[in-house]
Amino acid sequence: MDVILKDGSKIELPSGSSVMDAAKQISEGLARNTFAAEINGELSDIRDELQDGDSLNLLTFDTEGGKWTLRHTASHVLAQAVKRLYPEAKLAIGPAIDTGFYYDFDVETPFTQEDLDRIEAEMKKIVKEKIPLERFELTREEALKFMEEKDEPYKVELINDLPEGSRITFYRQGDFVDLCAGPHVTDTSKIKALKLINATGAYWRGDSSRKMLCRIYGTAFMKKDDLDAYLQRLEEAKKRDHRRLGRELGLFALMEEGPGFPFFLPKGMVLKNTLIDYWREIHKKYGYVEISTPIMLNRGLWERSGHWEHYKDNMYTTVIDDTDFAIKPMNCPGGMLVYQLEPKSYRDLPFRCGELGLVHRHELSGALHGLFRVRCFTQDDAHIFMTKEQMKDEIKNVVRLFDEVYSLFGLHYEIELSTMPEDHIGTEAEWEENQEILKTAITDMGKSYTVNEGDGAFYGPKLDFHLEDCLGRTWQCGTIQLDSQLPERFELEYTGADGAKYRPVMIHRVVFGSIERFIGVITEHFAGAFPTWLAPVQVKVLPITDRTKEYAEGIIEKLTAAGVRVEGDFRSEKIGYKIRETQMQKIPYMLVLGDKEAESGTITVRSRSRGDLGSVSFEGFMTELTDEIKNRINK
């Protein structure tokens, strides 16, 4: 039989050959490093049998599928180690994730760091034992009996939830067996470097009404150097944690009285409002008008938009005058009502309206995470109403806006196209047409994308923009959603050049995603050392003695008059202490003023990024500073 490789070439194999047989025919070295494969585009195990005419892509650790497979095997090694050391532990699930793997266990006492050290040592023993992983299948009845005999209730539940007729596969490694669909590597020795990161609590199947299990996180690599580099990045990420920096820099607070509802402090409000000022400036430049819609609207509106049916579990509701109301989880239905207020003609389109809308969404308490996952946030929304002929140009216009914004913060991005989900409204033909328009618009701009099958919004396909920060981490912030459905539901119209009535198409889009989340992202990206134009305090004035107090006050007055955000430190502390404290606050500039500066009318400048700049004229410093702020120069 013939099998077609990724480069289009063919190899001839005997009938019944597996993926591993194909890899060995190409080279023994490739076979040793092949962990999984894509057969006809589907992630598959190296043990899978090939058929005549199959397309085959062999996956090493350098590929996402290869990484996923090795780390999936590492999760089984973790489970085997736990069962060796804690035989009474019950197994739940253990998948690979983007950065490594985890496994959930039901244990009487949560694991401590000392436990993790023991488990990791046992995992390394299992790796050295070079235990083969063998796959086998059982019928549903056999599988249930097998897991019941092993007293694994969570596995029994998973088997019972599988659809009728499902293949029920297991993997055996020595004395350990786990229910698993795979894929897995050939043996445990393929895991060259591993590390357990931490242990946390996690509800079984993410349901807060179910039992809290103990989840152990870990990661695995092919090379120790790669593992060391990853662990170093983790340590750097801890230093940049926006929750810690938020407290230290006085930006925001998270309180027990309002889980998921952040409190913004004075300096945090300066940061937030500066971002909003920039948002308004860039949107005016790109032809948007700003609107504001109510935070609460009645059930009829949400039924009309489809949110009551598709999103109700995430909405906060109440009753007013015997009528159901919902606090808005998103701004778009209000934007529809604004469009309908006045008749529109083709000359009025595209109609671009932006809104900084406060939205509320119910998130599980276990999912809350600083500003990254909250229950209340300001969504920097915009809705663009247009003719079909304008769709492609408007998408490109949005992407150009995104490019300008993200480049200002030094954030690169990857684009992901999310296609039609099972829970959708509209015809497949409409979805296909809109997906094709999104693809064409961005490829015309020379941009590439990956496809995320089935993850579109219920009303339309979307382009998600995943931002990469200075540590190489990605954050999904911007999105462009193309929607033909809500204009239909709301019966939106415009008058064409021929006098007939037509239905507009709309784009939903955000650039920051939410102001709060974006603040979290850039706080970690800049490690709290925000560019001068964005910094809550731009200059700190430090008089050395009381004799220079009057001179310092004059400098502060001039800076304030020029629109600079400035603070003075007039405490009776040593200047070295004041300087160190200012450095800890990550303020871009500090001005050290002593008798010499007061007499000469100069200032001594210390820059956060460039160090001690020495004695300079105040006028020269002001010119450079105001230019840096006005032009949003990142230093």
**Residue of 381, 464, 469, 483 with catalytic role:** 381
**Residue of 180, 214, 332, 477 with catalytic role:** 332
Phi, psi of 394 (to 5 degrees): -70, -40
Asked if residue 289 lies in contact with residue 355, where contact means CB atoms within 8 angstroms, the answer is no
**Residue of 190, 242, 272, 361 with catalytic role:** 361
DSSP string, 23-87: HHHH-HHHHHH--EEEETTEEE-TTPBP-TT-EEEEE-TTSHHHHHHHHHHHHHHHHHHHHHH-T
List the structure tokens of 131: 């235990």
**Residue of 184, 508, 540, 586 with catalytic role:** 508
Q: Return left, alpha or beta for 42; rule: phi > 0 is left, psi -120 to 50 is alpha, else beta.
A: beta
**Residue of 67, 76, 155, 379 with catalytic role:** 379
Q: From CA 260, how far away is CA 314, in angstroms rounded?
A: 14
Non-local (6+) Cβ contacts of 68 within 8 A are 36, 43, 96
Active site residue 381: yes
Active site residue 462: yes
Nearest to 340 by CA among 157, 487, 515: 487
Query: How many Cβ atoms sit within 10 Å of the Cβ of residue 541?
Result: 24
**Residue of 67, 383, 424, 606 with catalytic role:** 383
Active site residue 361: yes
Token look-up 């995104």 returns 402
Active site residue 508: yes
**Residue of 240, 328, 360, 462 with catalytic role:** 462
Rounded to the nearest 10 degrees, the angle between the axes of helix 266-285 and helix 515-525 is 110
Nearest to 120 by CA among 185, 212, 237, 217: 217
Query: How many Cβ atoms sit within 10 Å of the Cβ of residue 48?
Result: 18
User: What are the angstrom distances between the C-alpha of 624 and each of 559, 617, 619?
Assistant: 13, 11, 9
Phi, psi of 254 (to 5 degrees): -115, 125
Catalytic residues: 332, 361, 379, 381, 383, 462, 508
